[in-house]
Amino acid sequence: MMKAGVVVFPGSNCDHDCYYVLKEIVGFDTSFIWHKDKKLKKYDLIVLPGGFSFGDYLRCGAIASKSPIMDSIIDFAENGGLVIGICNGFQILTESGLLPGALIRNRNLKFICKYVNITVEYINSPFTSYYTTGEVLKIPIAHAEGNYYIDEKGLEELKDNNQILFRYCSESGVVDDESNPNGSVYNIAGIVNKKGNVLGMMPHPERAAEQVLGSVDGIHIFTSVKNFLQKGVI
């Protein structure tokens, strides 16, 4: 059985949500990983969940990026291991250098918690192969620092390398400023690294994995990963 690990930092609050979805819905052999652990066991997927690691002191994710486990996660990712960082996990990935850019305060300077729409930009990825290009997903956000920033050169690299997987859009799939909840550059909601094996996204797919929650649009991120691991191809 494929193994998934969910990292737990002081202040994580979506760790059990991710654990439940991975284990009970998708079928991974799932376990928690304490942030002070220094070595990873054998995993096929690592998830950095949302929450408020270390109380969001300094910058969100800054302290967590220095946790002992992160050296092993960086090695895991650099060797091709699949990593997903959700919300605070995305912030940790940028702070650790595994993903480019930064997450800064929402442009309205307020915490935002609501369902948003995102469009799937690129499907030839371990994380999006079960979607179609341009498909609109209804997935919730919950963040105060979800405003993705990268300079013009960095943005062009993301575009050229097909690293932008998700963008905020309207219900009908129109990508415009009105559908941008936090001010993110180019309406970016989720990106991958150049190798394509590390995903960071602000929306919470684990909160859109069962119909009782109001949407199942997030589940295929995890089923895409499972399919990729089983078949070794996208």
Question: For residue 104, what are the β-bridge partners?
Answer: 147
Average pLDDT of the segment spanning 28-41: 96
Say whether pLDDT at 57 is over 90. no
Q: Which of 197, 193, 176, 110 is nearest to 146 (CA)?
A: 110
Three-state secondary structure call for residue 6: strand
Of 95, 121, 145, 206, which one is the catalytic site residue? 206
* 18 part of the active site: no
pTM above 0.95, yes or no: yes
Of 14, 18, 60, 87, which one is the catalytic site residue? 87
Q: Are 11 and 51 in contact (CB under 8 A)?
A: yes
Measured CA to CA, the distance from residue 152 to residue 12 in angstroms comes to 32
Residues 141-173 have pLDDT tens digits of 999 999 999 999 999 999 999 999 999 999 999
Confidence band (pLDDT; 50, 70, 90) for 233?
Answer: low
How many percent of the chain have pLDDT more than 90?
Answer: 96
Question: For residue 137, what are the β-bridge partners?
Answer: 118
pLDDT for position 206: 98
* 60 part of the active site: no
pLDDT for position 58: 83
Q: Which of 127, 54, 52 is nearest to 84 (CA)?
A: 127
pLDDT for position 231: 85
Q: Are 19 and 33 in contact (CB under 8 A)?
A: no
* 206 part of the active site: yes
CATH number of 3-231: 3.40.50.880
